[in-house]
Structure 1
């Protein structure tokens, strides 16, 4: 094995995180209430009702994911079997805490769940069932703060020596509705601060009539597994 191959393997090993990217729609909805959904939430804990913002406006269903059925989940979600996501009707801002303009609920066991009584909302999202793809190797964007300095130096060295033309010759980025992997930040100033760990990305989709920001943005959800606290941020082109 030559030095260049060893360097590339070192880079990929240090940066790779597995991710599961979901296919949205294109197939008949299963009857199972635990089916992953975009734009729809079907279950909650027995004592939970449809969520509202502090001003009383009902939130919109953004989706649900059965984590217990996935082939891989990030370490920060190992204690979660199922999660549901709500947002709006006002566009979430970075400073909004979980429960204001957006909400993630987590469940440690599927046995906690029962049918959620639906509420009429002003949502314009188009609901579609989802299904998970096979786990993929996911890598960070170049300017997102997830590449250690020594690995960055090694990548630049390979480029300067003519072994590669660009960082993206080595890796593949995965967008969409994904669990795990790295956030595909659009703006270089976007980041995830400790102790939160990135676990979920939801992109704009014309099919589902969802738009983050003014143009094809993405939302990134991060969790502190010690406290079950969540934070979210979004950016756009």
Structure 2
């Protein structure tokens, strides 16, 4: 490996990020409904499940922010959020509120379970594990460092793909785990993976990526195999 390529990899290693990685099920479900869950949700008294084209959506993921060992800056002031999706189509290229919706709550007090039908998907509680070495994929890494010397060096290229950790499951923080191409790092907050236990899949074993601007606007993207 050339010294230049080695220096680039060391620069990239200095930019690794912490992340909160989901562990789905495998433990006794908590009694508190305001904890993190796949396919269960809470809301304010009198609040109903959001609608899309005249039909109720379902809660894919509820997250209690205080449970996250790594909290993205974009979630400052948010105590709990719920990601809802419609039942009939992946809302590719649709803006927030059209086929998908994230509700935010600044307090846990007063929240009550929503009567939401998860359909064929199986509810599971979620616990969170901290990692401190999440690395970006090939295309997103170019936003951080010039990978030209790595691209020209076989040993360095192998090290890029084999000597760094990339966590492809549901996670908050860290870097988005790309599948087809770069996801983009600006405003990235979390990703939701295809989760076998839950029975949820984005198209062909894909991932959904969620971004929140400093003004509080959400957008999303999806990649799959």
TM-score (norm 2): 0.87
The alpha-carbon deviation at position 146 of structure 1 amounts to 4.0
| Contact 1:17 1:180 (C-alpha < 8 Å) held by counterparts | yes
| Contact 1:180 1:199 (C-alpha < 8 Å) held by counterparts | yes
Change (3 A) 1:141 1:63: same
The correspondence of residues 3-152 of structure 1 with structure 2, limited to 5 A, is 7-14=8-15, 16-41=16-41, 43-46=42-45, 48-53=47-52, 55-111=53-109, 113-119=110-116, 121=117, 123-143=119-139, 145-148=140-143, 150-152=145-147
Alpha-carbon distance in 1 for matches of 2:144, 2:69: 31
| Contact 1:93 1:233 (C-alpha < 8 Å) held by counterparts | no
Q: Which residue of 1 aligns with 2:183?
A: 191
Q: 1:205 aligns with which of 179, 195, 219?
A: 195
Change (3 A) 1:30 1:171: same
The alpha-carbon deviation at position 60 of structure 1 amounts to 1.1
Alpha-carbon distance in 1 for matches of 2:104, 2:30: 22
The correspondence of residues 168-179 of structure 1 with structure 2, limited to 5 A, is 168-179=161-172
TM-score (norm 1): 0.83
The alpha-carbon deviation at position 100 of structure 1 amounts to 1.8
Q: Which residue of 1 aligns with 2:173?
A: 180
Alpha-carbon distance in 1 for matches of 2:158, 2:188: 29
What SS does the aligned partner of 1:110 have?
A: coil
Q: What are the superposed Cα offsets for residues 37-70 of structure 1, whole Å, 9 maximum, x if unpaired?
A: 01211x22345321111x2200011011111222
Alpha-carbon distance in 2 for matches of 1:131, 1:87: 22
Alpha-carbon distance in 1 for matches of 2:162, 2:51: 46
What SS does the aligned partner of 1:165 have?
A: helix
Consecutive unaligned residues of structure 1, counting only runs of 5 or more, are none
| Contact 1:39 1:125 (C-alpha < 8 Å) held by counterparts | yes
